[in-house]
Structure 1
């Protein structure tokens, strides 16, 4: 791919990370960057300059160094000087919020303790118990067709519904969250969707303060860190972002690997666990992120990175650093950087792995002759600087009657969603003569709750 020629003569060309060319061949771009050193100048969005680390050892060093590098975006000089457009598409992922992702020191430790302690209460048995009925419900929606887009019909919806389950969302809030989260990640009215997500989470927090349950939201509220409502909302926002978009890509990227390596032999003998590990090394869902800001100008293996400028980590580039060579085979399978490392390493590594593994096993068991419906080379990857995500994953299989629990328990007539405690009571509208009163259309979460009451 072609790099952007610099506006200032003598400065290096920058790689635009937001183009279809970059999405089609990121490894080629990383190889070209490595020719200049362990890091290279990039543009995550038009008009936004950053430096991307593509060297494995350099990436580990930055991730573990809290003395020379900060995670606080309020240091971002170009943003504070008004040089970054406020409508830049990368700001939702890079601008400051008081949460576990964008803080340092004691503040970060306080937030992280609350998050990790709450997530640690999700054991493997609990997660599997919650994922399996959701997977069965979703598979029933398309099993009779013989064809599906596993991204849109399965991998995308499963984390959304699971979030509602694990965080204790009642029907009314859950339906709105599911719709708004989907819209935000698809880029449909993202600003409005984010506002609705924020409103939903504040309602959920208020509800759980009154009526705590056996869920992550209640555990965060009850944690000795004593998070206030705004802090709780910001931790839930980052957990949402980290648990939805990457999870659906982890599931779909692993399914692609299993299906593309020979449908008759199910990945040439590759187990789902092995497929997940292969994806995390070679095609991680979060390909480039973990933005750091040098507190002073630093020399990164001969590449000078100015103070208070964005320094991003390429997890995909670093994992595939040719300098690792044969040594990569001797590293432990968890030595990849897909989960990060150091004080900001992903706190949801264990739950995320169990969720993806359970989802993959469920659909392979339900549809044993699952196969790609198009040649692998025709599949497209979504442009974007941060993710490694498919546009679609079309598959075919022998149509299967929907006779699992979802089909057996589907209500004969629609039922009005149960009104949640925090929703104000509204007087029903009086129908005019001859006016037909239609039940409200139920969302995915309401429908799931009706079928799988526990």
Structure 2
């Protein structure tokens, strides 16, 4: 075995699922890049892949669906039963009939339904939906003078927003929030995935009977005529493509802003912080699994047919060739949103959500600062995301009155809404499922709806 060349026959694979990778993923990217445009990695125990870390090669894979397919049914080791069915990466890699894992005409049909439904949203609608959710969450911890803005804010805001954009009623929304939290945190992910599917089938049935101005209804009404199963799988895909990336985009950008802040607040614009994060610390660092239709030479690295080829957006963005070409800081050069036919269709919406969420937090808590040093922060292990475990902050305690005052500006609107509830206790760092509801226990979504009848 050649321990110096990761691409040599029999060479050891770089693990991407341990704490060492979470703490310093750039070491793996640099090591692989020193020997070629891609190299062998282990995404999880027993799950091997080829990771592309060179920018030009990454674009070649992303933009060439005729050679690199997305359909996970081509994955030979999975089809042969050699991948553990309880592997934590399987939900992110195995085939689902949605526009992320399909190719050709099927992909075009499903993607058209999704993109044209998302196109019905606009900046005004997104900001209108984000602002009260942000205020509601801030009210849960503003009087304490301290918070973990990952688990008390950045993690919960996208979950609640998805409920709003999907048009979830209280009961379904609480179950969706709980299932999402459990799935992303690895708590019985298979059961959580099944619960999420059940919730969305119920939601689709509801919207067929009573459509409204929401993404689920627009998908139901789309001329593509998606079946209930297809609709459910598009909603599951939208959850996965929005909640975890948005959480990390908000969290990583907040970290950068607070690191560079002073007594007068952050020293850089929020939009600039987002651009910096997308280039240097992308929230989804490695993903876009492809399966070559035949053996492919990736610049001297052989990618076998029907084996996973994963794109390192973080590795491609840090490719020294971009610096040499003068593109290291170009917004158009980074691959955080992907490229080719499967590029993210909602990047503008994602940025508006993040900017609005961060604006709301900084405006409500203007003297917010990091608690402790950045060296003490930990990153969540996992091959795909770049995600903080927690982001503790301190600030001057502020009365929890925003949800009562900022969003009831007219007598008619005030009369139509009930008296605010007492603040819901902020969830603990491990209680993402505090956003859901046990039997007889009100969840975050139903509590929010009791304040904002929107």
Provide TM-score, normalisation by structure 1.
0.91
CA distance in 2: counterparts of 1:131 and 1:288, whole angstroms: 27
CA distance in 1: counterparts of 2:367 and 2:326, whole angstroms: 34
CA distance in 1: counterparts of 2:328 and 2:387, whole angstroms: 28
Confirm or deny that 1:411 pairs with 2:409. Answer: no
- C-alpha offsets along residues 156-208 of structure 1, whole Å, 9 cap, x if unaligned? 11001100111100111111111111111111121211111111111100000
Q: Which residue of 2 aligns with 1:174?
A: 173
1:52-201 maps to which residues of 2 (within 5 A)? 52-201=51-200
Any conservation in 1 of the 2:6–2:13 contact (CA below 8 Å)? no
Q: Which residue of 1 aligns with 2:213?
A: 214
Moved more, 227-236 or 329-338: 329-338
Q: Which runs of 5+ in 2 are unaligned?
A: 409-418, 425-438
Any conservation in 2 of the 1:293–1:307 contact (CA below 8 Å)? yes
Q: Which residue of 2 aligns with 1:204?
A: 203
Q: Which residue of 1 aligns with 2:351?
A: 353
1:16-31 maps to which residues of 2 (within 5 A)? 16-31=15-30
Larger Rg: 1
CA distance in 2: counterparts of 1:365 and 1:343, whole angstroms: 38
SS where residue 262 of structure 2 aligns? coil
Any conservation in 1 of the 2:139–2:423 contact (CA below 8 Å)? no
Moved more, 7-16 or 240-249: 7-16
Q: Which residue of 2 aligns with 1:449?
A: 449
CA distance in 2: counterparts of 1:147 and 1:192, whole angstroms: 34
Q: Which residue of 2 aligns with 1:335?
A: 333
Any conservation in 2 of the 1:5–1:14 contact (CA below 8 Å)? no
- C-alpha offsets along residues 292-342 of structure 1, whole Å, 9 cap, x if unaligned? 111111111111111111100000000001121153447641321000000
SS where residue 207 of structure 1 aligns? helix
CA distance in 2: counterparts of 1:10 and 1:440, whole angstroms: 58
Moved more, 49-58 or 75-84: 75-84
CA distance in 1: counterparts of 2:78 and 2:444, whole angstroms: 39
Any conservation in 1 of the 2:3–2:11 contact (CA below 8 Å)? no
Confirm or deny that 1:266 pairs with 2:265. Answer: yes
Q: Which residue of 2 aligns with 1:425?
A: none
Any conservation in 2 of the 1:263–1:370 contact (CA below 8 Å)? no
Q: Which residue of 1 aligns with 2:254?
A: 255
Q: Which runs of 5+ in 1 are unaligned?
A: 415-438
CA distance in 2: counterparts of 1:49 and 1:11, whole angstroms: 13
**CA-CA distance at 1:87 after TM superposition:** 1.4
CA RMSD of aligned residues (A): 2.1
Confirm or deny that 1:317 pairs with 2:315. Answer: yes
CA distance in 2: counterparts of 1:141 and 1:323, whole angstroms: 46
Any conservation in 1 of the 2:113–2:224 contact (CA below 8 Å)? yes
CA distance in 2: counterparts of 1:190 and 1:371, whole angstroms: 34
CA distance in 2: counterparts of 1:40 and 1:280, whole angstroms: 23
- C-alpha offsets along residues 208-246 of structure 1, whole Å, 9 cap, x if unaligned? 000000000000000000000000000000000111111
Provide TM-score, normalisation by structure 2.
0.91
Q: Which residue of 1 aligns with 2:391?
A: 393
Moved more, 178-187 or 100-109: 178-187
Equivalent pairs, count: 427
Q: Which residue of 2 aligns with 1:276?
A: 274
CA distance in 1: counterparts of 2:164 and 2:423, whole angstroms: 24
